[in-house]
A and B are shown apart, each in its own frame.
Chain A
Amino acid sequence: MPPRPTSDMADPHTLGGAVLAHAARRPTAPALLWRDATVTYAELAEAARTADLPDGGGDTGGVAVLRAEKSPRTIARILACLLAGRPALLLSTDLGEVTRELLTERVRTAPPPDGTALLLTTSGSTGVPKLVPLGGGAVDRFTEWAVTAFGIEPGTRVLNYAPLNFDLCLLDIWATLRAGGTAVLVDPDRAVTPRYLLDLLAATEPEVVQAVPMFFRLLAEAAPEGTEFESPRHVLLTGDHAPPRVRAALPRLFPKAAYHNVYGCTETNDSFLHTADATEVAGREVLPLGRPLPGVRTRIEDGELLVATPFQTSGYLHEDGPGERFADGWFRTGDLVSRGEDGALVLVGRTDFQVKVRGVRVNVEEVERVLLEHDGVAEAAVVALPDPEAGQRLHAVVHRHPGRLGGLELRKHCSERLTRAAVPSAFRITDEPLPLTSTGKVNRNRIKEDLRNPRKGNE
């Protein structure tokens, strides 16, 4: 039997210890709201004390491999790991068995560094996710920051939308528990049911709401005229660009909130924060990144944003290559930034989407955005294909709205808005929807394949 934690042996300055301290001081205070049940701090602490952790033994270097199914039980198991000083590997419930086993195997062959509290995975759209070990100190520093930044106190209700294996939970679940607040867990089975989300907000009255743009889009589209939630003081937009149309609905839905654009990633956790009022969140075309969080250092190299945060990982576990995204404590975000006219830093795209055409750096996402500004364009994808003369040439594939939109009109449209090298040299205009990825984005890779190997009859 491994030793079980008790409240008198846990340091209250650590995340796990803080949760136990709340359980001792205010045992009946609600820690989690889940479906129709309330889990008190005493119940959570008891569940952690009696949690069945996978053996791990010497086999996985003490790492507890946990399936991150959202439930109070899983949260209790993670808490048990934190208290026992065992790293918890949180695997998405979406991962296939093969990937799960592969990641477990990787932990066996490359144990995480000493002091690792959590092992998260990157959400890479291709290949096997990378393992991101987060140290206990990093987790403590981040949760401490979040508690202060959003005024989370005993009794504060915070909405958790993300799955348990997402770094976002360090804010909406773990910072909340650190402060003695109540995490309102959105049921993943109903996470895209707008009626459920509206009812949950009305019933639980969270003061802090953090979610990806999709959550806010669902609300904005489904909320009956006049719906407003007065409880949120802080609304955090994260994970992706929130389109202006979605943001425009926020002041109506959350009239009493400050709106925060939060920028971060699994490797470094949050690094920038921009706080906007109702006018700005609803009216500004693009929200800026804002200011670095306390202790965060930033640098821009060739347009790419580099950050170093007090919350970051020491590097990927079992990295095949040299781990080129980390250097001297800096993390290459892969995000391209530029300064707007007012000096504010904004995201402009991913380095993955940056190509060179005749020696000129071009961002294909930007070209796509310009194409989409044309009224006749429903969807657009721009890819670079090798060309013997130009090095690379841009090919645009455009799904047009019903009408007669042609390549000449689009070339003119692009030329008026982009540098010459960024104007695609080849256009394919179709009346068919473009292929999408599983996450609903235009599938550039498929389109590239199709352009490279045109099927017979398609030429």
Chain B
Amino acid sequence: MISTASSKAIREFIVTTYAPDVSVEELDPSYDLLDNGLVDSLGLLQLISWIGDRYDIDIDDVEIAPDDFRSVNAIGAFIEKSKNGGLVQ
């Protein structure tokens, strides 16, 4: 499971970037970011690139499916997977 701090950082990024009207606490980790239109196709590229930078994942090297970014929970799982089960800071 991804750390609480990371989950908070992801939620903060999403809220600040895509939904400034929403507070971090409001964003449920299971909320569907894609189906609910919070993150559109342009937004998804931006989100993936941010995750790559922030968590030091070489995005070009890993297999990516949109489902990996469907929710904060899914993003957390993707980061874990990409870090080969290592600890995420």
Residue in chain B with minimal CB distance to A420: B37
- The answer to whether B21 has its CB under 8 Å from any CB of chain A is yes
- CA–CA, A390 and B42, complex, Å: 8
- The answer to whether A425 has its CB under 8 Å from any CB of chain B is yes
Please tell me if the beta carbons of B22 and A408 are within 8 angstroms of each other in the complex.
yes
Please tell me if the beta carbons of A411 and B26 are within 8 angstroms of each other in the complex.
no
B-side contacts of A425, CB under 8 Å: 18, 37, 40
- The answer to whether A330 has its CB under 8 Å from any CB of chain B is no
- The answer to whether B89 has its CB under 8 Å from any CB of chain A is no
Our pick among A389, A408, A427 for the contact of B42 (Cβ within 8 Å) is A389
- The answer to whether B48 has its CB under 8 Å from any CB of chain A is no
A389-B42, A390-B42 given; A408·B36 CB < 8 A: yes
Please tell me if the beta carbons of B20 and A426 are within 8 angstroms of each other in the complex.
yes
**Interface residue range, chain A:** 10 to 19
Our pick among A414, A415, A427 for the contact of B21 (Cβ within 8 Å) is A427
- CA–CA, A41 and B18, complex, Å: 69
Our pick among B20, B26, B35, B40 for the contact of A408 (Cβ within 8 Å) is B26
- The answer to whether A18 has its CB under 8 Å from any CB of chain B is no
- The answer to whether A361 has its CB under 8 Å from any CB of chain B is no
Tell me whether chain B's interface is mostly helix, strand or loop, or mixed: loop
Chain B positions 33 through 47: 1 when the CB is less than 8 Å from some CB of chain A, otherwise 0:
001111010100000
Our pick among A408, A423, A427, A428 for the contact of B31 (Cβ within 8 Å) is A408
B-side contacts of A408, CB under 8 Å: 19, 22, 26-28, 31, 36, 38
Residue in chain B with minimal CB distance to A422: B37
- The answer to whether A441 has its CB under 8 Å from any CB of chain B is no
Please tell me if the beta carbons of A427 and B37 are within 8 angstroms of each other in the complex.
no
Report the minimum CB–CB distance from A453 to chain B (whole Å): 17
Please tell me if the beta carbons of B40 and A420 are within 8 angstroms of each other in the complex.
yes
Report the minimum CB–CB distance from B10 to chain A (whole Å): 15
Residue with the highest number of chain A CB atoms closer than 10 Å, among B22, B28, B32, B37: B37
Interface residue count for B (Cβ, 8 Å)? 16
Report the minimum CB–CB distance from A255 to chain B (whole Å): 47
Residue in chain B with minimal CB distance to A428: B21
Please tell me if the beta carbons of A412 and B36 are within 8 angstroms of each other in the complex.
yes
Our pick among A358, A407, A415, A423 for the contact of B22 (Cβ within 8 Å) is A407
Report the minimum CB–CB distance from A458 to chain B (whole Å): 13
B-side contacts of A389, CB under 8 Å: 42
Please tell me if the beta carbons of A411 and B42 are within 8 angstroms of each other in the complex.
no
Report the minimum CB–CB distance from A228 to chain B (whole Å): 48
Give residues 1-41 of B contacting A (CB, 8 Å): 18-22, 26-28, 31-32, 35-38, 40
Report the minimum CB–CB distance from B30 to chain A (whole Å): 11
Please tell me if the beta carbons of A411 and B20 are within 8 angstroms of each other in the complex.
no
- The answer to whether A406 has its CB under 8 Å from any CB of chain B is yes
A408-B26, A408-B31 given; A426·B21 CB < 8 A: yes
Please tell me if the beta carbons of A406 and B42 are within 8 angstroms of each other in the complex.
no
Residue in chain A with minimal CB distance to B26: A406
- The answer to whether A429 has its CB under 8 Å from any CB of chain B is yes
Chain A positions 388 through 400: 1 when the CB is less than 8 Å from some CB of chain B, otherwise 0:
0110000000000
A-side contacts of B26, CB under 8 Å: 406, 408
Chain A positions 348 through 361: 1 when the CB is less than 8 Å from some CB of chain B, otherwise 0:
00000000001000
Please tell me if the beta carbons of B42 and A423 are within 8 angstroms of each other in the complex.
no
- CA–CA, A358 and B26, complex, Å: 28
Please tell me if the beta carbons of B37 and A429 are within 8 angstroms of each other in the complex.
no
Please tell me if the beta carbons of B19 and A415 are within 8 angstroms of each other in the complex.
no
Report the minimum CB–CB distance from A70 to chain B (whole Å): 48
Give residues 329-367 of A contacting B (CB, 8 Å): 358
A-side contacts of B42, CB under 8 Å: 389-390
- A binding-site residues for B, Cβ under 8 Å: 358, 389-390, 406-408, 411-412, 414-415, 420, 423, 425-429
5 contacts between A and B (CB under 8 A): A406-B22, A408-B36, A423-B37, A426-B20, A427-B19
- B binding-site residues for A, Cβ under 8 Å: 18-22, 26-28, 31-32, 35-38, 40, 42
Further pairs besides A406-B22, A408-B31: 6, Cβ < 8 Å: A389-B42, A408-B27, A408-B38, A412-B36, A426-B19, A426-B20
Q: 10 tightest A-B contacts by CB?
A: A423-B37, A407-B21, A415-B36, A411-B36, A427-B21, A412-B36, A407-B22, A415-B37, A411-B37, A406-B26
